[in-house]
Structure 1
Amino acid sequence: MVAERDRLFALLEDALVAHLGVTVGGGGDGGPGHPLVLPTAYAVRRDGPDAGGTLYLHGSTGAGWLRAALAADVCVTVTEVDGLVLARSAFHHSMNYRSAVVIGRARLVDDPAERADALDRIVDHIVPGRSATLRASTRKELAATAVLALSLHEASLKERAGGPIDDPEDVVGDVWAGHLPLRRVADAPVRAADSHADLPVDVRARAEALA
């Protein structure tokens, strides 16, 4: 559905952290390996180049999970908690949330142009417009940085909003019920001790948007 895909992309563009699930270990010693879930910075590109759009994940070329992420399907989740749902019974307590699940085979981005674009998108996902203000990455930095791409074709969205859904017999009681909305808020930017530049427009705008 178009509406659901729009909500999916809205979540991916709003959230800040993705969790990448891979299976590591096993192989040579005959063991089955074990699951590993890692937080990572990311960016999303609605127009591909992968089917259904592309999710870019940031990593280190020296990370042990990188080979595992390329050898088998991975699962990436992105979740935002929007509220606490407080019901009249423990059973019906919940959370309001938006959650995306992406499953597929990741590819290593090795094309220089796509890689540069992906890295700029990852930085700009944190603070829109910031990549244009930074110095160019060095060869050493690029050699230490890995970018994975994952198709959004096999992506799904699950979400909940609103108050609790209590059993009819509980509604007549005197226990308070409702929900507690939550939102992400940023404090004022804190200058680094060795920074001599004025607060840039991009950082100021990001802080104001999250105030």
Structure 2
Amino acid sequence: MSPSVETTPPPSDRVRLRRKPGRGHHDRATIDAILDAAPLCHVGVVVDGQPYVTPTFHWREGDHLYIHGASKNRTLSVADGTEVCVTVSILDGLVLARSAMHHSANFRSVMILGRAHRIEDPDTKRARLKGFIESLYPGRWDALRPMTDTELKATAVLSLALDEASAKVRDGGPMDDEADLSWPVWSGVIPLRTALGAAVADAHTPAGTPPPALGMAVAPIPGSD
């Protein structure tokens, strides 16, 4: 997923990239791939004139992004029916140049703008929460103790259409000035990635029970094996 000249027009002027537009992507394939590779997002809302940004898990189903939390969560309560900004980012590497000015980072990111809506129908909410669990651990929902009506009521799920979204991607080495290329210091890329550790069962898991299958667990670096 290398930076390239934008070929898909932005869906609105609000999500048009002003700086480094060549790193921008507005095609859904790129946007969906980034959203599906990283489970953590940040939700920005304004409460009484004060901006707040809250980290939470997200998942995508088709043309909508979903977030969840406690029904009394302030961020989710304020976000319902209002304009929000949701961002997702993956850090792929540290880029070290021959000058401080040209140090950078390789990354993939998505910004989504729009009006969030709380899902009120219990059956729809339950289906979306199943989609959340299944996106992380395929096949696990049906093995779990069923969610109670009380638990469902205590959980809020918000939906955000992917109508206004943009991705920004940087990939590659340092972009030194020609005059600096002979400067005697190490330059290049230090890759970063999320790695899975060995699963650790708790004391109540029956012996021999296999760990769950994992879905959205690692965000591989573009171009890596």
Q: TM-score range by the shorter chain?
A: 0.7 to 0.9
**Deviation for aligned residue 1:91:** 0.9
Matched letter for residue 81 of structure 1:
L
For residue 154 of structure 1, the aligned residue among 164, 169, 189 is 164
How many Å separate the matches in 1 of 2:138 and 2:99?
A: 43
Is this contact kept in 2: 1:81–1:96, CA < 8 A? Answer: yes
1:15 matched residue in structure 2 = 38
- Which deviates more, 54-63 or 114-123? 114-123
Does residue 138 of structure 1 match 2:161? no
Is this contact kept in 1: 2:54–2:75, CA < 8 A? Answer: no
Kindly indicate whether structure 1 or structure 2 has the higher relative contact order, using CA contacts under 8 Å at least 6 residues apart.
2
Does residue 43 of structure 1 match 2:66? no
Give the gaps of 5 or more residues in structure 2.
1-7, 9-24, 221-225
How many Å separate the matches in 1 of 2:141 and 2:106?
A: 33
SS in structure 2 of the partner of residue 206 of structure 1 = coil
Matched letter for residue 5 of structure 1:
R
Number of aligned residue pairs: 195
CA RMSD of aligned residues (A): 2.1
Does residue 177 of structure 1 match 2:197? no
- Which deviates more, 83-92 or 110-119? 110-119
Does residue 69 of structure 1 match 2:92? no
Is this contact kept in 2: 1:58–1:122, CA < 8 A? Answer: no
**Deviation for aligned residue 1:197:** 5.6
- Which deviates more, 111-120 or 161-170? 111-120
Percent identity for Structure 1 against Structure 2: 43
Give the gaps of 5 or more residues in structure 1.
27-32, 47-52
| TM-score scaled by length of structure 1 | 0.85
Is this contact kept in 1: 2:126–2:152, CA < 8 A? Answer: no
| TM-score scaled by length of structure 2 | 0.80
How many Å separate the matches in 1 of 2:85 and 2:46?
A: 10
**Deviation for aligned residue 1:66:** 2.5
